[in-house]
Amino acid sequence: MPPGRRDNARGLRILGDLRPRPAGAVHVGYQFWKRLGLEEILGGLEFPPRAIQLTCAMTLNRLVSPKSEHAMPDWIRSTAVGDLLGVDFAPLTDDPLYRNLDRLHPNRVSIETALAARERNLFNLDPTIFFYDLTSTYFEGQALANPKARRGYSRDKRPDCKQVVVGLAVGREGFPLAHEVYAGNTQDRQTLPSMLDSLEKRVGPTKGATVVVDRGMAYAENLAEIRRRDLHYVVAARQPERTNGWRNSRRLKASRKCIASWSTNRMPRRRRRRNASTGPACCEPSGRT
């Protein structure tokens, strides 16, 4: 019986299974889209309504089930995104999504700045700790139209491909605050000053905050730059520094044991070399010279 026809024998209307679409996850994401005021942010940047709708759909996809722009139209049609936005995405192809990225990128500083301020107020975020790290993504092909596509250290084990380096700074709670795209041959240590500049523009004054970076950026010039900005830092020491620190720690512990043994006038489990006038001059482990 066709959907919508009445079954006179039972007095019921038969409902048909037309095109079920999941709505729960995208509905939750859409509520946060509205609470963060993203439509107002993009509208203030003179985005047309169609671009705002596409940006919303793309954001919900990243939140719920990340796909490439090529695969995204099918995902959008398989969910209730169109019903939530009141838009017919049936004819949507990937080309408008790629063009929308070209529209978003030049406005990323304004978008990230406004979004960071709204997130800080909405979620009561802590602005005193920032984590910064980098990754890379490579291209198949020549990538001639991308001036930042260069060969460099590949985290994907693809030194044969051109790539770009992406730096991301997040807060204590994990909310992204700023990102930058660097040439593929950029060393990690060279990116820290520009990322600190980006944080100042997007988050505002950060004096007294703590920056957490890995050992790839733990060089003297970077640590001096952090201190110059009245920031604190937590870094992972590089191998030479860890080795020297371990050796110095061993020497310090040995010296303290010698002093403690001499001050308490107890016989240590070590061989003493005495000086007739001053007592023990040094302590050496038994069996070593």
The answer to whether position 136 is within a domain reads yes
Is 65 inside any structural domain? yes
pLDDT reported for residue 206:
74
| Domain extent at residue 83 | 18-106
Give CA–CA dist 8/6, Å, rounded: 6
226 with 136, same domain: the answer is: yes
Pair 95, 167 in one domain: no
Per the model's pLDDT, the better-predicted residue between 42 and 247 turns out to be 42
Give the chain's mean pLDDT. 83
Tell me if 254 is assigned to some domain. no
Looking at the structure, tell me whether residues 30 and 95 fall in a common domain. yes
How many domains, in total, are found in the chain? Answer: 2
Instruction: Look up tokens 């000053």; give the residue.
Output: 193
Statement: residue 273 has pLDDT above 80: no
Q: Is residue 37 one of the residues assigned to a domain?
A: yes
Q: Give per-residue burial for 100-134: e unless 16+ CB within 10 Å, then b.
A: beeebeeeeeebbbbbbeebbeeeebebeebbbeb
| Helix (H) or strand (E) run with residue 110 in it | helix 108-123
- Per residue in 25-34, pLDDT (tens digit) is 999 999 999 9
- Burial class from Cβ neighbours inside 10 Å (0-12, 13-18, 19+) for residue 260 reads exposed
User: Which tokens in the block code for residue 287?
Assistant: 């069996």
User: Is the pTM of the predicted complex or chain greater than 0.95?
Assistant: no
Residues 169 and 102 in one domain: no
Per residue in 156-195, pLDDT tens? 999 999 999 999 999 999 999 999 999 999 999 999 999 9
Q: Which two tokens stand for residue 171?
A: 């807060």
Q: Is the pLDDT of residue 280 over 90?
A: no
Both 133 and 176 in one domain: the answer is yes
Residue 83, CA distances (Å) to 43, 147, 166 in order: 21, 40, 35
Q: Do residues 131 and 230 share a domain?
A: yes
Q: Which residue has the higher pLDDT, 148 or 252?
A: 148
Asked if 147 and 58 sit in the same domain, the reply is: no
pLDDT class for 135, splitting at 50, 70, 90?
A: very high
